[in-house]
Amino acid sequence: MTHAQVIDKVLANIDKVMIGKRDIAELSLTALLAGGHVLLEDVPGVGKTMMVKALAKSIGASFKRIQFTPDLLPSDVLGVSIYNPREMQFEFRPGPIVGNIVLADEINRTSPKTQAALLESMEESSVTVDGETIRIPQPFFVMATQNPIEYEGTYPLPEAQLDRFLFKLKMGYPQRGEEIEVLSRAEKTVPIDHLETVLTIQELAELQLAVKEVNVDHTIKTYIVDCASETRNTPHVYLGVSPRGSLALMKSCQAYALIKGRTYVTPDDVKYLAPFVFGHRMILRSEAKYEGITSNEIVDRILTRVSVPIDRVGLK
């Protein structure tokens, strides 16, 4: 079975429970394959949890969920060392973060200390408690959600920490027909319970390796860099995208190309992914915020200004 066929099976599997959310499924899978994490920003009840569950079940990975609350402590996330009287020594009990696929729900509800603990372990793929470091088993994929409506009693994530996430996505409401379909499917049974595993963790690791083999032509690298540097020269942007942002865009493009069954990245991949990768990596000036311009709009504008390389002529 080729990579493309394997991936199609996973996506088709997710489609069984998620209706009309093929793009989000693709993007989540892209992040998973690229080894990144996703921040979903949306109102409750649009299927965030279902998406993660479906993904976890499809690849036969362990699924953990952390519901963030203001009184949650870092140890509640990472785990604690407990004295075992029988063995006469401390024993580490891993927290919910140690899993393959973790849903971190409403992360802006918890204190910055706990947020930092989560983000650090995301970055390092490891947990450090009492001087002891434990590797989190691969694949490790965190899908964090935050609710953009209720700001009361929240601790918004600092901008600098947002770039721990590869993508920031919005789910959106389903369309009318899709919502009806959701209802009909759930009329008798719970679809998620019947979901089969279509991909082993071993196969997933192979796919992750294959992502690294996807060719990124020099023209594409130039295009990515041009886009990134344009964010730094745009009047509304206070702080543009860092080289880490360019790198993240390239890696996600590689993963996305694989999902699309290609072994090379095209400018279309870059254009498609740029808003999800760059959007949360820029800090806008306050004027932009007052004018109601969102970062995604700015990225769109930038993309209309940067010329797409269509040959090698004149390339530096």
> Is 297 among the residues that bind another protein (CB under 8 A)?
no
Q: Supply 16's token pair.
A: 């069984």
- Near another protein by CB under 8 A: residue from 45, 85, 131, 235: 235
> Is 251 among the residues that bind another protein (CB under 8 A)?
no
> Is 219 among the residues that bind another protein (CB under 8 A)?
yes
Query: Which bin fits 27, alpha (ψ -120 to 50), beta or left (φ > 0)?
Result: alpha
Interacting residues with another protein between 11 and 30 (CB under 8 A): none
User: CB-wise, 202 or 304, nearer to another protein?
Assistant: 304
> Is 310 among the residues that bind another protein (CB under 8 A)?
yes
Q: Supply 140's token pair.
A: 């490790």
Count other Cβ atoms within 10 Å, centred on residue 232.
12
> Is 221 among the residues that bind another protein (CB under 8 A)?
no
Angstrom distance (rounded) from CA 123 to CA 195: 30
Q: DSSP letters along the chain, please?
A: --HHHHHHHHHHHHHHHSSS-HHHHHHHHHHHHHT--EEEE--TTSSHHHHHHHHHHHTT--EEEEE--TT--HHHHHEEEEEETTTTEEEEEE-TTSSSEEEEETGGGS-HHHHHHHHHHHHHTEEEETTEEEEPPSS-EEEEEE-SS--TT--PPPHHHHTTSSEEE---PPPHHHHHHHHHHTTTS-GGGGPPP-S-HHHHHHHHHHHHHSB--HHHHHHHHHHHHHHHT-TTEEE---HHHHHHHHHHHHHHHHHTT-SB--HHHHHHHHHHHHGGG-EE-HHHHHTT--HHHHHHHHHHHSPPP-SSTT--
User: CB-wise, 235 or 292, nearer to another protein?
Assistant: 235
User: CB-wise, 17 or 306, nearer to another protein?
Assistant: 306
User: CB-wise, 13 or 266, nearer to another protein?
Assistant: 266
- Near another protein by CB under 8 A: residue from 75, 262, 283, 285: 262
Segment interacting with another protein, rule: CB under 8 A, options 53-61, 64-72, 115-123, 300-308: 300-308
Interface map 159-198 toward another protein (x if CB under 8 A): ----------------------------------------
Kindly state the smallest distance separating residue 2's Cβ from another protein, in Å.
16
> Is 268 among the residues that bind another protein (CB under 8 A)?
yes
- Near another protein by CB under 8 A: residue from 113, 215, 287, 289: 215
Total residues contacting another protein by CB under 8 A comes to 23
- Near another protein by CB under 8 A: residue from 85, 130, 311, 316: 311
> Is 264 among the residues that bind another protein (CB under 8 A)?
yes
Angstrom distance (rounded) from CA 229 to CA 280: 16
User: CB-wise, 66 or 259, nearer to another protein?
Assistant: 259
> Is 254 among the residues that bind another protein (CB under 8 A)?
no
Q: Please report where in the chains the tokens 């090379």 appear, as a residue.
A: 264
Kindly state the smallest distance separating residue 238's Cβ from another protein, in Å.
14
> Is 134 among the residues that bind another protein (CB under 8 A)?
no
Kindly state the smallest distance separating residue 230's Cβ from another protein, in Å.
11
> Is 303 among the residues that bind another protein (CB under 8 A)?
yes
Give me the residues that bind another protein (CB under 8 A), please.
215, 217, 219-220, 233, 235, 262-268, 271, 303-308, 310-312
